[in-house]
Chain A
Amino acid sequence: MAAKIDLRRFPGFLGITLICLVVLYAPLIIVAVYSFNDSTSITNWGGATLNWYVDVFTGPESPKFQQAALNSLIIAVCAAGAATCIATAAAVAMTRAGRFRGKTLSFALINLPLMVPEVVTAVASLVFFSAIGFTNGLFTILIAHTVFCIPFAYLPISARMQSISDVYEQAAMDLYATPREAFTKVLLPLMMPGILSGSLLAFIISLDDFLITNFVKGAGVETLPTAIFGAVKQGIKPNIMAISTLMLGVSIVFVTLSWLVGRVGQNKQK
Chain B
Amino acid sequence: MAAGAPMGAGTTSDIYKGDAARLMMPTWLIIGIFLLAPVIMMGVYSFLTKEFRGGVVWEFSFAAYDQFFFDRGLFGDDPPTLEWTYIGIFWRSIWQAGLATIMCLLIGFPTAWFIATRDPKSRSIWLFLITIPYWVNLLIRTVSMKFLIRDTGPLNEFLLAAGVIDTPLGLINTDFAVQLGLFYSYLPFMVLPIYAAVERYDFALSEAASDLYAGTWTILRLVIFPVVKPGIIAGCILVFVPSLGAFLAPDLLGGAKTFMIGSLIEEQFKGSAGNWPFGAAAAMILLTLVLVILLIYARAQNKVEDR
Contact = CB atoms under 8 A, between A and B. Distances in A.
Given A4-B210, A210-B138, A96 B14 contact: yes
Interface string B1-35: 01001111111111111111101101110111011
B31 A244 contact: no
A247 B141 CA distance: 11
A7 B55 CA distance: 59
A31 B147 contact: yes
Interface string A120-156: 1101111110110000000000011011001000000
Contacts of B38: 121, 124-125, 127-128
A211 interface: yes
Interface stretch (A46-54, A58-66, A190-198, A248-256): A248-256
A236 interface: yes
Interface in A241-270: 241, 244, 247-248, 251-252, 254-255, 259, 266, 269
A181 interface: no
Interface string B219-246: 1100010000000000000000110110
Interface string A1-17: 01011011110111011
A20 B203 contact: no
Interface in B269-289: 269-270, 276, 279-280, 283, 286-287
Contacts of A128: 34, 37-38, 41-42
B2 A266 contact: yes
Contacts of B21: 100
B170 interface: no
A229 B140 CA distance: 9
Interface stretch (B65-73, B74-82, B83-91, B127-135): B127-135
A110 B31 contact: yes
A163 B13 CA distance: 12
Interface residues of A, number: 100
Contacts of B203: 7-8
B50 interface: no
Contacts of B117: 8-9
Contacts of B138: 208, 210
B57 interface: no
Interface string A58-94: 0000000000000000000000000001110110110
Nearest to B133: A24
Contacts of B26: 85-86, 89-90
B177 interface: no
A166 B15 contact: yes
A255 B135 contact: yes
Given A89-B26, A95-B10, A123 B279 contact: yes
A228 interface: yes
Nearest to B290: A117
B6 A27 contact: no
A147 B34 contact: yes
Contact of A93 (B10, B24, B210, B265): B24
Contacts of B114: 10, 13-14, 16-17
B176 interface: no
B147 A27 contact: yes
Contacts of B304: none
A27 B245 CA distance: 23
Nearest to A44: B157
Nearest to A110: B27
A114 to B, nearest CB: 10
Contacts of A21: 129-130
B187 interface: yes
Looking at A86, A119, A214, which has the most chain B CB atoms within 10 Å of its CB?
A119
Interface of A: 2, 4-5, 7-10, 12-14, 16-17, 19-21, 23-28, 30-31, 34, 42-43, 85-87, 89-90, 92-93, 95-100, 102-103, 106, 109-110, 112-113, 115-121, 123-128, 130-131, 143-144, 146-147, 150, 159, 162-166, 169-170, 179, 182, 204, 207-208, 210-211, 214-215, 225, 228-229, 232, 236, 240-241, 244, 247-248, 251-252, 254-255, 259, 266, 269
16 contacts: A7-B216, A13-B110, A21-B129, A28-B133, A34-B147, A116-B290, A117-B286, A117-B290, A119-B286, A128-B34, A130-B55, A131-B41, A162-B7, A163-B11, A210-B248, A211-B262
For the complex of A and B, 9 pairs with smallest distance between CB atoms: A98-B14, A128-B38, A117-B245, A27-B144, A93-B23, A124-B38, A166-B13, A100-B20, A97-B20
